[in-house]
Chains A and B, each alone.
Chain A
């Protein structure tokens, strides 16, 4: 018997938004089977993974801290992805944002001024934009593939950070260890809830999400982004300037990633370290798609993805489950999401040999 995928005429609008939920439910069910096979109580494991991490105020705060960079980057990326502009290098743009903002903090070390933090945030945005401007220039001028250029610049960015942190940015009192000195108070993001690590970066992320929503839904630029993504030919007939949109979306996603980078160093880390991000720039790609490239969806997806990390920690601490469980979880989530998406656009046909001949 042959299984074929046959395109559906029109994808169900409702299902497009339901598929992430279906994917989450399927992931939960499949992971319960996995826990059962591993010999742990599935309900206990699910509890340790999804409930326990957010059962305290501290845990909730940590969830938002972890989600902040994912949401920020995810929002930025989703703008470009809607226009079929594939910025894969958010990790590098994040790194440059951390460097730009962090260098400012170190340059004005011990200078107590309320202007320092805003200046750092702006510097971070500029850093991310500058890094994203390179693929934008190469694409609009030489028609290079932005997937490759942005991805490869990520490694350049990480090496640049490595160079700086082993040299000029090193803590002078730090025994030559590759870390900057700790930022002084005026360069550290204020805490929202005392006693937790929840900093105002989360509010900034929500603000950016609102901005993105206004842009996409209410602004002509957002309309152009969506049209160029769905029907490039129509966009060019309508006279939309494609190059301008390439620049805009890359700069916006780069700026958001850079902002996420400076928020990480000025927030939970409080100094420049050799590894600012454990791959947020890449994880945010999953977040963007899980959130259907929609600002509200990206916020929710960022929270869910953050929860899988926190859950992985507590599953290790309370259940002695291996760290790999986190990776398996995220993998299953993406797998089920992609599978549901395929089934939204295609239906499965159990074809006979005759149909195979006719299609072949």
Chain B
């Protein structure tokens, strides 16, 4: 945030002193720690925001009277986010989780005004003394799902309902392609971009179109259960996203990649309570429990389940890496040499498809 002008930083400094004085007086030692959450969607009963809210509930369960949690849902990622985050900070919340990428700059700005408040921003890359970032290595889950899909497909075409062409989503597509092709080299991935995180109509249309084109496994990086429901009604397989979605299609649902924020939220809250909270970046996966697999469908043969479990355990003990070389991009050029693994920097900025993915990334 170097580009912030002198005027603004002066302002910020003045206000910071004021708020520190105010909140210092209001907050007595025995008061519970107020923890605030900013959600991009409604809480609902599955999906991205739902899982963050599960993490919040885990805090209440773990710490009881020692914490008091607040959430604000459906906060748009434009000018409004900063107001809401600021309001939480100004009303005595000492730990604030902002749970969507679009809250990055608003979070950093508010944090400058409230140096005594700890901020945690999900999926971003800008940090500060009082702004930590966290995200999950969902691609580890995609790897396991990709292995299962590679074994289960009959048509050798996997369909992928994708949201936006950001590195996070492209990484997931590539992880599936690499894993599926490692057990079945004939597999191709078809991707349909729906330009939304949640649009049941378009997600369902995307799934239907791909099934008509011979896809027999639907994966998704969107939040609605529509692709699962379409897969169920058309008799093909599907993999759920963010939550266990088997309730929406128990026959189709092979497994799901579950976001589990509870361990992280508990650890960070404990750190604030103990006075040991520090800014930093956390990118957790299977090992820290941030990513989990939903129960495998009973229709998956035992040897495939064993293969999936072996990979999951291998990722935990470090013997398996979803982006282990040799990895070729679509043109056949080697991007990760044999014997090497893709560094986190490449994963974080991923903007190319690996071999086996059809089509081009929209630019």
- Asked whether A and B interact, the reply is yes
Q: Which residues of A are interface residues toward B (Cβ below 8 A)?
A: 56, 58, 62, 65-66, 159, 162-163, 166-167, 174-179, 182-185, 188, 190-191, 194-195, 197, 264, 267-271, 273-278, 309-310, 313-314, 316-318, 320, 322-324
Q: Looking at the complex, which one of B18, B78, B350, B351 makes contact with A273 (CB distance below 8 Å)? A: B78
Contact (Cβ within 8 A) B72 A176: no
Contact (Cβ within 8 A) A323 B76: no
Q: Looking at the complex, which one of A178, A323, A324 makes contact with B166 (CB distance below 8 Å)? A: A178
Q: Mark B118-129, 1 if CB is under 8 A from A, else 0.
A: 000000010000
Which A residues are in CB contact (< 8 Å) with B42?
323-324
Q: Is B105 an interface residue (CB 8 A)?
A: yes
Q: Is B360 an interface residue (CB 8 A)?
A: no
Contact (Cβ within 8 A) B3 A182: yes
Q: Is B87 an interface residue (CB 8 A)?
A: yes
Contact (Cβ within 8 A) B83 A195: no
Contact (Cβ within 8 A) A65 B70: no
Contact (Cβ within 8 A) B349 A194: no
- Stretch from B8-16, B228-236, B239-247 contacting the other chain: B8-16
Which A residues are in CB contact (< 8 Å) with B73?
316, 322-323
How distant is B348 from chain A, measured CB to nearest CB, in Å? 6
Q: Looking at the complex, which one of A166, A174, A191 makes contact with B362 (CB distance below 8 Å)? A: A166
Which A residues are in CB contact (< 8 Å) with B3?
182-185
Supposing A177-B101, A275-B78, A277-B78 touch, asked if A313 and B91 sit within 8 A by C-beta, the answer is no
Contact (Cβ within 8 A) B83 A317: no
Q: Which residues of B are interface residues toward A (Cβ below 8 A)?
A: 1, 3-5, 7-8, 10-12, 14-15, 18, 36, 42, 70-80, 82-84, 86-88, 90-91, 101-102, 104-105, 125, 164-167, 195, 348-351, 362-363
Q: Looking at the complex, which one of A65, A195, A323 makes contact with B11 (CB distance below 8 Å)? A: A195
Supposing A178-B164, A184-B3, A270-B105 touch, asked if A194 and B78 sit within 8 A by C-beta, the answer is no
Contact (Cβ within 8 A) A66 B83: yes
CA distance A324 to B287 in the complex (A): 38
Contact (Cβ within 8 A) A175 B348: yes
| A-B complex: 5 closest residue pairs judged by Cβ atoms | A268-B79, A278-B76, A185-B5, A195-B15, A194-B11
Which A residues are in CB contact (< 8 Å) with B101?
177
Give the residue name and chain of the B residue nearest to A195 (CB).
B15
Contact (Cβ within 8 A) A177 B74: no
Contact (Cβ within 8 A) B79 A166: no
CA distance A310 to B90 in the complex (A): 14
Give the residue name and chain of the A residue nearest to B14 (CB).
A195
- How many inter-chain contacts with C-beta < 8 Å in the A-B complex? 115
Which A residues are in CB contact (< 8 Å) with B78?
264, 268-269, 273, 275-278
How distant is A264 from chain B, measured CB to nearest CB, in Å? 6
Which B residues are in CB contact (< 8 Å) with A274?
77, 102, 164
A195-B18, A268-B79, A322-B73 given; name 17 further pairs at CB < 8 Å.
Answer: A66-B79, A163-B362, A176-B351, A177-B125, A177-B166, A179-B102, A183-B3, A184-B3, A185-B4, A185-B8, A194-B10, A268-B78, A268-B82, A309-B80, A316-B72, A317-B36, A317-B70
How distant is B37 from chain A, measured CB to nearest CB, in Å? 10
CA distance A58 to B90 in the complex (A): 10
Contact (Cβ within 8 A) A317 B167: no
Q: Looking at the complex, which one of A58, A267, A277 makes contact with B86 (CB distance below 8 Å)? A: A58
Give the residue name and chain of the A residue nearest to B362 (CB).
A166
A-B residue pairs in contact (CB < 8 Å), sample of 19: A56-B90, A62-B83, A66-B83, A176-B167, A176-B349, A182-B1, A184-B3, A185-B3, A194-B11, A268-B78, A269-B79, A274-B102, A275-B77, A275-B102, A313-B75, A316-B70, A317-B72, A323-B74, A324-B42
How distant is A49 from chain B, measured CB to nearest CB, in Å? 14
How distant is A75 from chain B, measured CB to nearest CB, in Å? 19
How distant is B352 from chain A, measured CB to nearest CB, in Å? 10
How distant is A123 from chain B, measured CB to nearest CB, in Å? 19
Contact (Cβ within 8 A) A313 B84: yes
CA distance A167 to B165 in the complex (A): 10
Which B residues are in CB contact (< 8 Å) with A177?
101, 125, 166-167
CA distance A58 to B22 in the complex (A): 14
Give the residue name and chain of the A residue nearest to B170 (CB).
A176
Q: Looking at the complex, which one of B72, B348, B362 makes contact with A313 (CB distance below 8 Å)? A: B72
Give the residue name and chain of the A residue nearest to B12 (CB).
A195
Which A residues are in CB contact (< 8 Å) with B75?
313
Supposing A194-B10, A273-B102, A323-B72 touch, asked if A176 and B79 sit within 8 A by C-beta, the answer is no
Contact (Cβ within 8 A) A166 B165: yes
Contact (Cβ within 8 A) A191 B164: no
Which A residues are in CB contact (< 8 Å) with B79?
65-66, 264, 267-269
Supposing A191-B7, A268-B82 touch, asked if A162 and B167 sit within 8 A by C-beta, the answer is no
Which B residues are in CB contact (< 8 Å) with A317?
36, 70, 72, 87-88, 91
